[in-house]
Each structure stands twice: as structure tokens, then as C-alpha cells.
Copies of this chain bind each other. A is one copy, B any other.
């Protein structure tokens, strides 16, 4: 039976969220997998935004539990790092022991992005560790994001595809997604 893959990523926040999600869903189906995406289930009626948020969280967890694997989009979202909802979901699926796959549309590593962000303001501390002007250490393991994310995927024999989308298309380009999808499809076959 075809394996179901949860498609985690910040696409839900895009102006053209539905179109991009539909494209990812169609590509996943074409790869012989069953797409599971946030928003696939109806939300129950709620009185407040607070209740709606809780309902969406519960539904997305249910969708993850219905899936066999995850493909997480680690592309930096509104800042230097992965969308925190996606990071949560990747951790969730890692804990469940599911096959995990990830990609990013930004070729720079996390460490390179943070160094670029601070520029000349970076300092090296007495222990030789690079820090921002705020004193915060700059994690620099060559990973796409925090080591728990990239490491969590690699340590369970998943795969991470590093894309390099044109500026302005980082959240919409699907080149790296197609590539990780092909890897996931082959491994889950």
C-alpha cells in the first residue's frame, strides 16, 4: 500500500497557500505517495480564535499520526531559522520513529546565515567560540538549521536536500521539494 507522507512547512502562511499546497500534494501523489497536509481535515466550529488554534493543533497532530513519514521544509521563515511549527512537527515525527526527510531552499548553512546577519559585529570569545554582539553563540556545524533538526533527520538515515532558490522564491520554489520527494518515494517504496 502506498505510504502516506505529511508535508510540513510554512506554505500555509503564503498569499497563495492553497495553490502551492495543491501543487505539493499533486507532486506527492504523482510520486506514488499519499499526501497528508495541514488543512486536509475540516475544522470544527469554534467561538474564539484561541479555540480555533487549539483545534488546528489537534487536527495537525492527528494528521501526523495518520502518516507514515514526513517531508519537512526547513527554509528560513520570517527570520534566520525554520518555521517553529515545522520544527515541532519534525521532532514529533522523529519521536514516533517515522522515516523523516527534509529540504531547504536556502543553500547557506545556519551558521553562515547568522554570521552574515551580524556581519562585522561577530566576536570570538576566549574559548574561540564565535558569538553575536548579543553574546549568543553562533551554532556552526554546517547544518541547515539547529542541530536537533538536521541531526535528527540524518541520525535516523533520512535525507536532507539543500536547494538554492532564486532570491524572492525561497518559499515557493519546488525544485528541492521535487528532489527530496524522489528520494522519499524510492526509500518508502
Contact = CB atoms under 8 A, between A and B. Distances in A.
Interface of A is mostly: helix
Interface stretch (A23-31, A129-137, A173-181): A129-137
Contacts of A150: 53, 57
Contacts of A57: 147-148, 150-152, 155
B54 A151 contact: yes
Give the interface size bracket for A toward B. 35 or more
A167 interface: no
A134 to B, nearest CB: 8
Given A135-B14, A147-B56, A147-B57, A87 B91 contact: yes
A147 B15 contact: no
Interface in A68-110: 77-85, 87-96
Contacts of A141: 49-50, 52-53
Contacts of A78: 79-81, 114, 132, 134, 136
B88 A149 contact: yes
A78 B50 CA distance: 26
Given A13-B137, A15-B135, A50-B143, 13 more contacts: A13-B139, A15-B125, A15-B137, A54-B154, A58-B155, A77-B136, A78-B136, A84-B146, A87-B87, A87-B91, A88-B146, A88-B148, A91-B95
